[in-house]
């Protein structure tokens, strides 16, 4: 009779108390993000000083006060951008943990965090494109912040291409961990680029005086808290699904042995 006790101990864990909080985190995040959106259109004013008397040519486009409402996209754009960067921080953290321990669980954590990051990166790029078109009159410009974030998006996509190109789980995890850490290096560059290379179109948001009045800051913070909770809920649900799939695969392997 074969002794499978040691193998059983190595089965990937599935579920956990924290996973029970994931649906509640998603609900709370959705409520906070919705509240932030409502306050954005009912309380938050237009950009400070953004007033146009009649029609004015801005970015080779005739602009009115009505068009300046497009600035409201900022209250969605910035929270999803920050959330994508936070998710990539966890990609780098779990990548380091995997390189130190070689535990498959940390590779799954890193992969799941990067999946969540990709979703928010795409939301950032989409909302950013809308903002650029309506505020600056162009669909794209090689402005420093946009360029560095575009590179970040390519790195995140390349992360999954790399994973799909390697069959061996341990090698795949090691290469992906190193690449995830490299990708994260671009995050502080994206954050600091407007300070290192001042831009006339991309303002510095986080500074000592915040640059925002309370009726603008509160909706922004509510939206940001909501997006972070949504990201946490998505991460835990996806991680649980991935670990359950790994557990089923491990059980099938044991039965075949």
Q: Write phi, then psi, for 48 (nearest 5 degrees).
A: -55, 120
Q: Enumerate the domain spans of the chain.
A: 20-256
Per-residue pLDDT of 14-34, as tens digits, reads: 556 777 888 999 999 999 999
Per-residue pLDDT of 158-198, as tens digits, reads: 999 999 999 898 999 999 999 999 999 999 888 787 666 65
Q: Write phi, then psi, for 200 (nearest 5 degrees).
A: -80, -15
Quote the Cα angle for 28-30-36, to 5°. 100
| Mean pLDDT of all residues in 133-155 | 80
Per-residue pLDDT of 44-77, as tens digits, reads: 776 544 445 555 554 455 555 555 566 788 889 8
Q: Residue 1 has what DSSP assignment?
A: -
Q: Is 211 a residue whose pLDDT tops 70? A: no
Quote the Cα angle for 16-17-23, to 5°. 100
H helices within the chain, ranges in order? 5-9, 17-20, 22-42, 74-101, 104-131, 144-165, 169-196, 214-256
- Taking the CB of residue 30, how many other CB atoms lie within 10 A of it? 15
Six-digit token string for 121: 């990166």
Q: How far apart are CA 129 and CA 113, in angstroms?
A: 24
pTM of the model: 0.80
Q: Say if residues 110 and 98 touch (Cβ distance below 8 Å).
A: yes
pLDDT for the residue 155: 95
| Mean pLDDT of all residues in 129-152 | 77
Q: Average model confidence (pLDDT) for the chain?
A: 80
């Amino acid at each position: 009779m074969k002794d499978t006790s040691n193998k059983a101990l190595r089965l990937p864990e599935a579920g956990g108390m924290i996973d029970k909080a994931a649906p509640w985190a998603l609900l709370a995040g959705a409520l906070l993000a919705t509240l932030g959106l409502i306050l954005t259109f009912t309380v938050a004013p237009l950009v400070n000083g953004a007033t146009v008397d009649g029609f004015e040519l801005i970015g080779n486009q005739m602009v009115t006060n009505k068009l300046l409402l497009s600035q409201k996209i900022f209250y969605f754009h910035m929270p999803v951008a920050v959330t994508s960067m936070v998710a990539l921080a966890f990609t780098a953290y779990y990548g380091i943990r995997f390189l130190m321990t070689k535990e498959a669980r940390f590779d799954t954590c890193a992969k799941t965090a990067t999946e969540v990051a990709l979703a928010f990166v795409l939301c950032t790029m989409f909302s950013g494109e809308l903002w650029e078109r309506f505020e600056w009159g162009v669909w794209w410009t090689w402005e420093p912040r946009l360029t560095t974030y575009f590179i970040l998006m390519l790195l995140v996509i390349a992360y999954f291409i790399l994973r799909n190109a390697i069959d061996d789980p341990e090698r795949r995890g090691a290469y992906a961990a190193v690449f995830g850490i490299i990708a994260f290096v671009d995050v502080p560059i994206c954050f600091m680029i407007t300070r290192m290379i001042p831009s006339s179109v991309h303002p510095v948001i986080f500074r000592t005086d915040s640059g925002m009045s309370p009726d603008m800051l509160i909706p922004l913070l509510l939206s940001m808290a909501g997006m972070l909770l949504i990201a946490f809920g998505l991460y835990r649900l996806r991680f649980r699904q991935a670990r359950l799939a790994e557990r089923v695969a491990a059980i099938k392997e044991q039965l075949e042995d």
